[in-house]
Amino acid sequence: MVITLASSLILLLLWISPPTDGTLIGEVSETTVLADGTASKPINSVITAEIVTTDEESLVIESAGLYGKGDVRMVNYDTGEVLKKTPILDKYFAEGIHLTEDGVLYLLTWKERTCLAFDGATLEERRDLNFEYKTHTGEGWGITGDGQGKLYVSDGSNFLHVWDAGTKEEIRRVEVSTSQGRPVRFLNELEWYRGDILANVWYSDVIMRIDVETGIVKHIYDLKKLYPKKERNHEADCLNGIAKMANDDLFVTGKLFDKAFRIRLDPE
Ligand SMILES: [Ca+2]
């Protein structure tokens, strides 16, 4: 999502525990293990990194935000090459994406309350499958699915919205909090992982692992050492991109990062 300097300063002030000090919520693990030693891949500049993997190794679909510049694109993470790209209308700000088992790519829009649909293989528009939605804040941030009829949507609040994947109707809302009962706000990019939800939290470098029934954070993976802020490219923002591969390794990246990383979570 886009922010002004003023609002980012306010949000930073509101963020009581800076995400870099390891005391964000507690229960923090720094035990993330890289799958291939320190394998990192150079990637083309990613405007907004909401990512999903395809069936083919290293082929990742990304959404790129910003009004007037938005698109969905298929990228080879081994080479950084953009293989396909479909622009979206200027009036939409691209946010989270989810690729269904049926090969439909859904794209949330930030404030436009419209979910856009694409063919997941060709990235051609499927306007016949577009739909409108409502969330707690009225915004759309991240989306993922369990592959068993439910979609999970974040909107920048501490709620996960559970939708019926067929009707797109809301089934329930899950309030996300730590085991100490502290609400976890700014839930952003989401990824389904072994029956749980992995979530980036906006403006931090962690991945939260959330129990989708209770909303309680089961574990926090601290990734601030993966790509330390002082080593990042100048434009880079926070971590904002999780895509699970077939073997449960993850690609992770961030807004405007010049790299993506292949990691394996520990504990798995
Ligand atoms: Ca994802």
Q: From ligand 1's centre to the CA of 20, what distance in Å? A: 23
Most confident region among 8-17, 18-27, 236-245 by mean pLDDT = 236-245
Give the length of the chain. 268
Whether the CB-CB separation of 152 and 108 falls below 8 Å is answered with no
From the CA of 233, how far away is ligand 1's center (Å)? 22
Residue 70 and residue 103 in contact, taking contact as beta carbons nearer than 8 Å: no
Sheet of 28-29: strand order equals: 28-29, 217-222, 206-210, 196-201, 187-193
> Residues 157-172: what's their mean pLDDT?
97
Q: Which residues, in sequence order, are CB contacts of 94 under 8 Å at separation 6+?
A: 48, 50, 63, 64, 65, 66, 70, 71, 72, 88, 107, 109, 110
CA of 73 from ligand 1 middle (Å) equals 14
Residue pLDDT, tens place only, 170-206: 999 999 999 889 999 999 999 999 999 999 998 888 8
**Cα(239) to centroid of ligand 1, in Å?**
12
Angle at 100 between CA 177 and CA 121, to 5 degrees: 135
Q: pLDDT of 79-102, one tens digit each?
A: 778 899 999 999 999 999 999 999
191 C-alpha vs ligand 1 centroid, how far in Å? 4
Span 22-45, mean pLDDT?
Answer: 41
Query: Domains of the chain by range and CATH?
Result: 5-264 (2.40.128.630)
C-alpha–C-alpha distance, residues 148 and 103, integer Å: 14
Nearest to 259, CA basis, from 3, 200, 96, 235? 235
pTM here?
Answer: 0.84
